[in-house]
Amino acid sequence: MGFYDFVYGIAAGIFMACLVLVVQTSRKSVIRSEFTGLVAESTVRRHPIQRRFLREVGHQTYVMKLNGYLFFGSIVNLENKVRDLVDAEAFGRRAIRYLVLDFSYITGIDFSAAEAFQRMNRILYSKGVQMILASVVLSSEIGKGLQMVGLFKDPDENDDVPTPKIFEDLNKALEFCENELLTAFNRRSSLLAHQKKAQPQSMAVPRPSTPPVTFPSETAFSSPRREYLFQAATTALTEGDALVPSKWQNFSQPLQLILQTFRDLTNKNEDFWHRAVPYFELREYAAGKLLYSRGDEPNGFYLLEEGILRAEYELDQGSYHESIVAGTTCGELPFFSETNRTSTVSAEKDCRTWLLTPEKWRKMQEECPEVARELLKIGMKLSAERMNAVTSYVLITAS
C-alpha cells in the first residue's frame, strides 16, 4: 500500500512541477522589445526626399522582437498583444500597415504556438495589416514547425488570407516594408511629374485630387492609412520640388547629381559647385563588379547616378550589409579621413558613378580650396549620418 502511495506522490509532484513551470513561463512575455519604423530602419542609403517620406510614414511599420521558446503557455501574451494592436480604439490612434515579428532569439516552437500564428495572420489580414516574419529559414526547426500548420500554404478559393512574408534577417524585412511604402511615393512622384508637364511652366502645381494609392493588403478598414500615405508623399515631393529648381534639370552631369545629393547638407549654389565638376570622372560598373574590398586603401569618393551598390561589413556584433541607391554617396569616411576601407563594395546592378580620386582631391585642395573645404564638411556630415544609422541598427538587432 505504501508503495502505491509513494508512486502516486511522485506522479503528483511531477504534475505540480510541470504546472508551476507552465504558469511561471506564461507570465513571462516572449516580446523582447518593440519598435516602430521611425526607429527601426533598414541600412539602405536612400535619396533625401525618400528618407523624408519614410520618416513621415515610419509609424505604419511595427516591429516586435521575440524571445525564448514559443508554446501554448507563452504564445498567449503575444496573441493578446497582436489583438490589442488592431483593437478598434488603438487602431484608430495608431494604424499600422506591417507587423514584423523577429525570430532572432526564438529557441523553438511547438504545434499549438505555430497554430496561433495562423490565427494572428487572419486577425491582421482582417484589418489590412501584413504579417512579416524575420530571421526565419524554412529549412530550420522553426520554419518546419510553421510549415506543418500550413502557415505558408498558398491561399485557395476557400481561404483568401495571404501567407506571411518571410526573410532571413530583420534588415531585409525592414527594407521590404520601406520599398512597399515607397511604392506610393513613386506613383505620386510620377503623377506630379505628369501634371507638371501638362501645364504651363509659369503655373504652380496644384495639390493632386486623385484617389490615394491602393496597396494589395489594403481593405476598407485602412483608408485612413492610404490617405496618410497620399498626403505624406505629396508633402515630401512638394518640399523636395521646392529645393530642386527646374533649371537644375538642364545641367549636365555630374553637376545636377552634386546639387541634388548635397542640397540638404550645404547652402552653396550651382555656381560654387560648378567648380568641382572637372575633378569628378565617370566610372561605370557592370553588375557583380567589385569596387573595393575591406582593408584597401581608399581609391576615391563615389557619387552614384544610376544603379545599386552593395556594401558588406564585418563588425564585432556580427556581419550585415547595406544597399546604396542612386542619388547617394559611397566611400566618404575612409576617403576623407585617409584610412583603410571598412567594407567591401560591389555593384548589385549596373552602375553609373562619378568618382573623385585621391589625385584629383589633392589637385582640388590646391586649386579650389574653398570647394575642397566645403566638400570635406559634407563628407563628415555624411559619415556622421551613416554612423548614426549603423549604430541604431546594431542596437536594435542586439536589443
Rounded distance, CA 126 to CA 214, Å?
16
Q: What SS3 class is residue 394?
A: helix
Could you tell me the pLDDT band of residue 161, with boundaries at 50, 70 and 90?
confident
Mean pLDDT of the region 117-143: 92
CATH number of 19-177: 3.30.750.24
Residue boundaries of the structural domains of the chain: 19-177, 182-244, 247-398
Could you tell me the pLDDT band of residue 17, with boundaries at 50, 70 and 90?
low
Cell of 31: 516580446
User: Could you report how far apart the first and last alpha carbons of the chain are, in Å?
Assistant: 56
289 residue type, one letter? K
pTM for this structure?
Answer: 0.76
| Domain 247-398 annotated CATH 1.10.357.10 | no
Q: Which residue has the higher pLDDT, 111 or 156?
A: 111
Could you tell me the pLDDT band of residue 224, with boundaries at 50, 70 and 90?
low
Can you give the pLDDT at residue 183?
Answer: 83
Q: Annotate 110-130 with DSSP letters as a single string.
A: -HHHHHHHHHHHHHHHHTT-E
H or E element that contains 167: strand 165-167
Q: Which of 57, 37, 18 is nearest to 188 (CA)?
A: 57
* Cα→Cα distances 235→52, 200, 226, 242, 282, Å: 9, 22, 14, 11, 34
Q: Which residue has the higher pLDDT, 194 or 208?
A: 194
Q: What SS3 class is residue 140?
A: coil
Q: Which residue has the higher pLDDT, 240 or 94?
A: 94
Enumerate residues 6+ apart whose C-beta is below 8 A from 311: 321, 322, 323, 324, 330, 343, 344, 345
Could you tell me the pLDDT band of residue 213, with boundaries at 50, 70 and 90?
very low
**Strand order from edge to edge, sheet including 308-315:** 290-292, 343-347, 308-315, 318-325
Can you give the pLDDT at residue 25?
Answer: 55
Tell me, yes or no, if the two domains 19-177 and 247-398 fold the same way: no
Q: Which of 81-90, 137-146, 390-399 has the highest mean pLDDT?
A: 137-146
Mean pLDDT of the region 359-384: 94
Residue 68 has pLDDT above 70, yes or no: yes
Residue 196 has pLDDT above 50, yes or no: yes
Least confident residue range of 18-32, 109-123, 334-348: 18-32
Beta bridge partners of 320: 313
Q: Which of 63, 39, 219, 38 is nearest to 133 (CA)?
A: 63
Q: Which residue has the higher pLDDT, 343 or 89?
A: 343
Q: Which of 113, 100, 108, 116 is nearest to 42 (CA)?
A: 100
Q: What SS3 class is residue 348?
A: coil
Mean pLDDT of the region 358-363: 97
Q: Which residue has the higher pLDDT, 224 or 140?
A: 140
Q: Which of 7-11, 69-73, 108-112, 390-394 has the highest mean pLDDT?
A: 108-112
What is the SS3 string spanning 13-54?
HHHHHHHHHHHHHHHCCCEEEEEECCCCCCCCECCHHHHHHH
- pLDDT tens-digit map of 279-315: 999 999 999 999 999 999 999 999 999 999 999 988 7
Mean pLDDT, rounded, of the chain = 81
Least confident residue range of 101-115, 117-131, 195-209: 195-209
Mean pLDDT of the region 85-92: 70
Could you tell me the pLDDT band of residue 385, with boundaries at 50, 70 and 90?
confident
